[in-house]
A and B are shown apart, each in its own frame.
Chain A
Amino acid sequence: MDLIIPTISQGLLWSLLAIGVFITFRVLDIADLTVEGSFPLGAATAAAGLLAGWHPLTAIAVAAIAGMLSGVVTGFLCTKLRIPALLAGILTMIALYSVNLHVMGKANLSLLQVDTVFNIYGAGNISQGNMILLVGFIFVLLTGIVCYWFFGTEIGAAIRATGCNQHMIRANGINTDVTIILGLVISNALVAVSGALVAQANGFADVGMGVGTIVIGLASVIIGEVLFGTRSFKNCLVSVILGSLVYRAVIAIVLQMGMPPNDLKLFTAILVAIALSMPLFQGKLKKRKVTG
């Protein structure tokens, strides 16, 4: 029982990453691996900032800007230099590994001795655990509302159309280089904020904390879509957030059941592989039903 609040809290903090992955993977139709670098970049930037005495919200804002810049780099590589999007993301991700080490000065920074966004408010009346839940909820709510609004605007619609049909949107006067870069910038900003929040909640930033984040993001997106639907953009956003919560719950349950934590990434990868191949199996099942 005492696992419920931490599970939901982690799910909320990681759902910002899931929304970021949703924006590239579903809206732009690009598998953007930059997240593996921009997530620890957000963590590193915020951690270094906090240790330098910044206000936690300032640290998160600067982390977001750092994430945006990494999105610009990937976007530049794949639009202006015509490097395939998957490879462009890998290049940025690898480059960010070195950048993150520079930002932190070493491979790991502890945040146990500094004020974070989770312990400067509430004046000690609320436990740190509940604070994470509350702050996470506020961040997710704001992000959800802003994303829903933005992707409903003219610019947002142009980004959505870019992911759907580049010929169509260019024939309607939109520069697809700009919309792709913009999508990557927004996505990686959210991923970096997610990294900044997770680092503060866990009490440390580590240069290796980005490993597997793309798969965690994909798992959340797909679980959410399968369980909660994709009828409209609003529905998709809610599904992705709930998907992140369900993913954390599944992880908590299998760990509780005795799965060694070292096998977590293997488990997640298998989960995502099964989920991604669902359409194929669903098609085969349908066929069998028709013929049999």
Chain B
Amino acid sequence: MKAPISWLKEYVDITSNINDLMWKMTEIGLTCESYDEIEGDKILDIEVTPNRPDWLSITGIAREIAIIENSKLTLPKLSDIPKPTQNLPINISFKTNLTGGYAGITISGVKVGDSPAWMQKRLISIGLRPINNLVDITNYVMFELGCPIHVFDYDKFLSTDLSMQLSKGSEEFVSVDGLKYKLPPDTLIIKDTNRVIDLCGIKGGQNTGISDSTKNVFIHTPIYNGSYIRKTSQALKLKSDASYIYERGPNPKIIPDTLKRVVTLVLELAGGEVASKPIFKIDKFIKDKIISFDLDDLNKFLGISIQKELVLKILEHLDFSPKITGATIKCIVPNFRSDVNLVEDIYEEIARIYSYNKFPRTLPSGKMASVKIPYFYDREFELVLKNIVSSAGYFEISSGALTSKEIIEKSGLNPENHIRIANPVSAEYEFMRTSLIPTLLAGIKVNTQENLKIFEYGKVYFAPVEKATEVYKISSALRNSTFENIKGLVDLVLEKLNIANYEIKPFAISHGLWHPNRAGVIEMDGEELGIFGEISPMVLHNFGIKGNIFGFELDMANLKKFQNSYLFKPIPKFPPQIEDITLIIKGKTEVGKVINEIKMTKFVDDVTMLGTYQNTITLRINYSDVNKTLTDKEVAEIRKSILGTLSKKFGVKQK
């Protein structure tokens, strides 16, 4: 909403400098952070919140400024509508109850021409284009008082019996600006005979619009049900200043004044004579809203005691006609304040005019919940994981959760498993991601470092949308490295979480994103902890990445589920016996399982692989006993038992 200072000054004295004024307006809710300067006038740019339709008018804004500036509001002088001296009958029947009020009148013998320069200047300054005196007057009064008005060419009506009704659907309508629309059903329209002449609350029709030769006019100022106007406006993607006001709900009580003001200006600037009695229809008798509150409750709510006199003064200023009885204050809500319905609304009125910035700032004194809240999230665990991976040299990236069909397909994934946005901003952001690997690959692509190590933590989402599963993953990618390195990272993460005895398995069903053989699943008690290994060469090719990429994608919930708190083990009192043994391995033997088997042997403390050569592996085994130093003879017996088991289970022999 644009508000020229010069126009505001017609209704209110403004003495503050522009910056003070703008902040004081912002502080009480009329957010104003900038202004334009046109021919020496300052045009305020005001963000009007949807609860305040009364601020969609210059007088409404002036009323609020009068409070800040401690001055009086002077509304435009209204003259009574003269008695009709001509007779252009009009009759309107209402076939819906979607009007909150209606006023209309005919005027004959007007002369269409330019509106006066002062009016044109004001319209231009608030961003409107002057058209002719009649249309300009309706726009001017709409912005002055806040209620939309439309003017029809009376002579273009095919009948003087108009009817307001809901459309059946697919009626054609051509707006005053010449655009064609096919109407959806349940659109509020006005018809003469069988033609649609008005798309209520949004645009008038071309068939009854004002032209240079217009002589007789019908002017109306209706109030419509805002949600109907909004539905139509959204369906047709057609907005206007009027529809904007209607959606927010203008004050029905302002209709008679609006009509008076328009008629006065038309007679003054376009001539003519009143040719009908005004039609007035105020459907519902709108009662004044009365809200009472207790001063004590106000103070308990706000946290400070505001003096009674000050409370009353603020409410007076706001036209709430406060009456105090004991500690109870009764307010009559002025009719332009459709937003004030509850005591809390009154509390806000008092607080904002008192000034939010005069309040002390305190902290709540009450009890804290002693139980875990629903939806509790363990962020400590997230940080533990992130810290393990970042201390291993990985850089955290952060990316968006939406992706494209193209990326999904490039990644070897199936769009069917993805939740789709029906109205995406663009095809790039159409699907919710099911893996963090594609954005990591994009990260690999933009960097040139040979041994790049990056990771991401975040949610992935799986279809079907009505039972969407959302799970947190931590995923990593490293370039031009070896399988051992990613395996080492997996082992490190799991070791730090004290998860032991996990199993590594090949994919049961191949996974498009990963290499079919050089990647696999990490399982614990039959549940998946994650996937790791080499990214599919085909996917890398699709992304235009040369070399190989290793990575993992681990499931946070299962990591958390299987993590164990680590219990301290005292350092051994007796030195371990350490020996290296070299084993001859048959082809396709899983070394990890061989090592695990050795680890499970009693008195074996640790097993590490020193290296491989041809068909052999060399392992270093630490033997120890908490109670004594093991003798060579005892170690020899343990070794013998290990070799026996290995031979039986894996056909492995010592070299």
> Do A and B interact with each other, yes or no?
no
Q: Which residues of A contact B (CB under 8 A)?
A: none
